[in-house]
Amino acid sequence: MPQTKTALVTGGAGFIGSHMVDVLLDRGMAVRVVDNLSGGHERNLDHHSRNQALSCEWGDIRDLKPDASIFRDVNYIIHFAGIGDIVPSIEQPIDYMSVNVQGTVRVLEGARAANVEKFVYAASSSCYGLADVPTTEDHPIGPQYPYALSKYQGEQAAFHWHEVYGLPVNAIRIFNAYGTRVRTTGAYGAVFGVFLKQKLAGKPFTVVGDGEQSRDFLYASDVARAFLAAAETPISGEVWNLGAGNPQSVNSLVDLIGGEKVHIPKRPGEPDCTWADVTKIQRDLNWAPQIPFEEGVQRMLDDIEVWNDAPLWEPDSIAKATETWFQYLGEDKST
């Protein structure tokens, strides 16, 4: 019988990370998780609480030492840990550079000490900025805000470790992941979090602009399967774009959820369309999405009660929360 492989998932109690844990355990691997629970939650892993193949350590990746026991005898490291959201990154850029860049370097050093078979970095499509679509991996880089910059610099660090130290690294630039267990607290951000609470509260959906902007939504379990493929492939030193390759408009999302809507101002620095060209990842990793958008949305609606304690965003509170966004990303940056 082949020896069981061990995977370490940083940010494994978070949204995508917890789906990654599901996929790895289903594959029969032993899984270790490190998470500081700033964005994730232990409840995301509660269904694995009796699984002896899962072990968790609650702490900050910036505190990890290369010889930490959590790295010992690990085959794969899949690195999701980090902080997201646009507005907080504009207001607290030092934190974002610290966690998303220096934290990544800490994990890279652990991976190097452990001589892992593969390090897979969760990169962000935000590195492209206002991109041409469909977006290929060789598109020029143009981050619009500190979060995007920090994620791209983390990616650059990973490939630098590949080039200098020979660490087997791959990276996947995630476009618009969605699904159950997405974060329900914190800053104003992802459209699903805003809309599902509004539906529970019987409030109109706050649609930015005319709602015809589209996003390349991909369900979290499909994201996780792609990361597993990137870990198990003999290929290294590659970056892939990851989306469904089938953008959906915000208006179509409103239609699926069902309810009234109110329009709020369009925001600077946001693309009208995100659309991953997935030709390369389909070819190299034999990956394809499995969850249709309509099914994924229904799964979230079936789980809508988790949004009971989420903040309710309305036009006035959104305007206040995004003041910094307009101030620093607007065309006139002199004021």
pLDDT of residue 22: 98
Q: What is the CATH number of domain 191-215+246-273+291-329?
A: 3.90.25.10
Give the span between the Cα atoms of 170 and 12, in whole angstroms: 18
- Predicted confidence at residue 335, as pLDDT, reads 40
Chain mean position to CA 188: 16
| Mean pLDDT, residues 230-257 taken together | 97
CB 20 within 8 A of CB 78: yes
Q: How far apart are CA 120 and CA 283, in angstroms?
A: 18
Residue 2's pLDDT band (boundaries 50, 70, 90)? low
Catalytic residues: 147
Joined together, the tokens standing for residue 220 give: 């979290």
What percent of the chain clears pLDDT 90, i.e. is strictly above it?
90
Structure tokens, 288: 């394809």
Per-residue pLDDT, 13? 97
Q: Provide CB contacts within 8 A for 207, sequence distance 6+.
A: 250, 251, 254, 261, 262, 263, 264
Q: Given this model, what pLDDT does residue 320 score?
A: 94
Asked if pLDDT for residue 1 goes beyond 80, the answer is no
- Backbone φ and ψ of 206, nearest 5°: -85, 100
What is d(CA 202, CA 222) in angstroms, rounded to the nearest whole number?
31
pLDDT at 208 over 50: yes
Query: Which residue, among 142, 62, 146, 144, has the nearest Cα to 96 in the 3D structure?
Result: 146
Q: What is the pLDDT of residue 3?
A: 77
Model confidence pLDDT, tens digit, residues 33-84: 999 999 899 999 999 999 999 999 999 999 999 999 999 999 999 999 999 9
How far is residue 188's CA from residue 198's CA, in Å, rounded to a whole number? 13
Distance, in Å, from the CA atom of 2 to the CA atom of 75, rounded to the nearest integer, reads 14
Q: Would you identify the CATH topology of the domain 6-178+217-242?
A: Rossmann fold (3.40.50)
- Domain-by-domain residue ranges, the chain? 6-178+217-242, 191-215+246-273+291-329
Tokens matching residue 179 = 């699904």
Q: Work out the mean pLDDT of the chain and round it to a whole number.
A: 95
CA 161/CA 137 separation, integer angstroms: 20
- The reported pLDDT for the residue numbered 270 is 87
- pLDDT tens, residue by residue, 100-150: 999 999 999 999 999 999 999 999 999 999 999 999 999 999 999 999 999
Two structure tokens written together for 269: 């620095």
For the entire predicted model, the pTM comes to: 0.96
pLDDT digits (tens, 9 = 90+) for 149-174: 999 999 999 999 999 999 999 999 99
Residue 334's pLDDT is what?
A: 43
Lowest average pLDDT, out of 184-193, 195-204, 270-279, goes to 184-193
